[in-house]
Amino acid sequence: MHAMVPLSVLDLVPVRRGDTPADALRNTLDLARHAEAWGYRRYWMAEHHNMTGVASAATSVVIGYVAGGTRSIRVGAGGIMLPNHSPLVIAEQFGTLESLYPGRIDLGLGRAPGTDQLTMRAMRRDWRSAERFPDDVLELQAFLGPVQPGQSVRAVPGAGTQVPLWILGSSLYGAQVAAHFGLPYAFASHFAPDALREALQVYREHFRPSAQLRRPWAMVGVNVIAADTDAQARRLFTSLQQRFTDMIRNARGQLSPPIDDIDTYWTPAERAQAMRMLTCSFVGSRETVRRELQRFLEDTGADELMASGAIFDHDARLRSYEILGEIGASAAGVPVPGGFATETPVAGTAAARGGATLADVH
């Protein structure tokens, strides 16, 4: 693979049709343990509300569950929708996580609501809160940093933990914020790919080095559905295709089992819209996925890939991530240039085990 990049997991903690959120959470921990063994760098979960097919609404709680059940993989939020919360409360939550699992916690921040208008109101969210996002990021960063002389409000735990912050986005706005503050940037191209290349360009051109990060570090979200054959992978992919069709129909639900012919499910117009959203999806056998991912990395210059894989059958989902990990491991051999200011390798990480990544940047 093109100049091997670290591989990470984005788990939307999908609740399958017929399952409970408890089932989904148990599957998440199982996948996280496997991902750790296969050399993945990070394991992130996202904040979504009022969605029967997603079990990670209480994101910091789920992060604690996964971090407590693993040993070395970094665990984090991809992301926390910061306008839904006070920066102090998030600093306390992630300061607690960092205190419990030192050197393993990431905090990705987004400004979307992660839900619908009615649920926004139920969360007591002010529609203007997104406008304060840059100020909230600075406030949160201060709460996680060293206590300043005369500081009357402090996060306990939190102060001095300096949990690494990431900015998430699917538009140029997040790229500008990440560049301005000198923070790593994660682009949500796994469902909103349209502005990917322009956002990466804006981020790299305007990046200002910071205490956390010396040079731009862009992680790109993709969907990976890998199987032993192209035909198997394409069939597994129909679960995600149904989910995106349901989103277009405003009928979000639990993850559906795969079907033999997706064209019986969607209209041509729905197909066009869903597949545009799923542009950054890599579906097929090991060789197919390897070839297409290599082309994608050469095109985007991504520093890290974060793979989402909504697959109905849990064993097939494990197999997909195993194949992707093997692709990464087989391509290892070219160290990734370090980008983060803190580059102390974490004991037992993928690099030490010769796993899917050679870059143990924090």
E-assigned strand segments in the chain: 7-11, 42-45, 74-81, 105-110, 165-169, 185-187, 218-226, 281-284, 304-308
pLDDT tens-digit series, residues 131-144: 889 999 999 999 99
Q: How far apart are CA 74 and CA 68, in angstroms?
A: 11
Report pLDDT for 362: 34
Residue 83 forms part of a structural domain: yes
Average pLDDT value over all residues in the chain: 89
Least confident of 126-135, 185-194, 204-213, 243-252: 126-135
CATH number of the structural domain spanning residue 17: 3.20.20.30
Residue 110 forms part of a structural domain: yes
Least confident of 9-13, 114-118, 283-287, 332-336: 332-336
Residue 279 forms part of a structural domain: no
Residue 233 forms part of a structural domain: no
Domain of 183, in residue numbers: 7-222+305-314+324-335
Cα-Cα-Cα-Cα torsion 270, 118, 12, 207, nearest 10 degrees, comes to: 90
Residue 290 forms part of a structural domain: no
Residue 182 forms part of a structural domain: yes
Q: How many domains does the chain have?
A: 1
pLDDT tens-digit series, residues 79-134: 999 988 999 999 999 999 999 999 999 999 998 765 667 777 776 667 677 788 99
Q: Is the pLDDT of residue 337 over 50?
A: no
Residue 258 forms part of a structural domain: no
Q: Is the pLDDT of residue 347 over 50?
A: no
Least confident of 97-101, 250-254, 282-286, 292-296: 250-254
Residue 14 forms part of a structural domain: yes
